[in-house]
Amino acid sequence: MRHFWYIVRHKWFVMIECFKVGLIWEGIVHDLDKFRIEYFVAYNKYQKRKLFKAQQPEELYPKTGDRGINREILRHRKTGPHHWQYYCYGRKEPSPMPDKYIKEMICDWVGAAKARGRKNLMEWYSEAKDYMVFNEETKGKVDTMLNKFINK
């Protein structure tokens, strides 16, 4: 049940942030796939092993030793256009990310930080950004939008 409430908190925080930037529909449907039974069971198992909260930036592609959760993480990221990984899989070079999905991705990061009690999003981003693969145009937009978002 803990993971269910984490998902609900996360979705709530992301929805509020999306509403603030005019992404009403995206805020409502954000991460609905996390309520699929396969995903929920795999993530619940992952969280129980205490790996969930301990995930560090270098583990943006976590290798949990559990094929079920690895498959579900991969599926979620490959099918969610608000994940930077969506624009990398199966490509030699990352594709540009549309602005609305950059905004949703940042809202996702803010929501995850709030749901996990992380105080400093910029500190996390400065550690994590070297592990993210962005198209050059997208990278510049992410940095600009994130700074505007944090400093508003």
Q: Mean pLDDT: which of 12-16, 61-65, 67-71 is highest?
A: 12-16
Q: State residue 18's pLDDT score.
A: 96
Mean pLDDT of 127-142: 90
Q: What is the pLDDT of residue 25?
A: 96
Rounded alpha-carbon distances, angstroms, from residue 139 to 70, 80, 102, 122, 135? 26, 18, 10, 15, 6
Which residue has 């992952």 as its token pair? Answer: 46
- Please, what sign has the CA dihedral across residues 84, 85, 89, 94? positive
| Dihedral angle over CA of 138, 91, 82, 25, nearest 10 | 110
pLDDT recorded at residue 58: 39
Kindly tell me the burial class for residue 16, based on how many C-beta atoms sit within 10 Å of its own C-beta (0-12, 13-18, 19 or more): middle
What predicted TM-score, i.e. pTM, was given to this entire model? 0.83
Quote the tokens at residue 13. Answer: 């925080």
- Tell me what the mean pLDDT of segment 41-51 comes to: 66
Higher model confidence: residue 48 or residue 32? 32
26 with 18: CB under 8 angstroms? yes
Hey, CA dihedral for 130, 31, 72, 78, is it positive or negative?
Answer: negative
Asked if 46 contacts 152 with a C-beta cutoff of 8 angstroms, the reply is: no
Average pLDDT over residues 77-87: 90
Looking at residue 7, its pLDDT comes to 87
CB 45 within 8 A of CB 69: yes
| Terminal-residue alpha carbon distance, the chain | 35
pLDDT higher at 53 or 49: 49
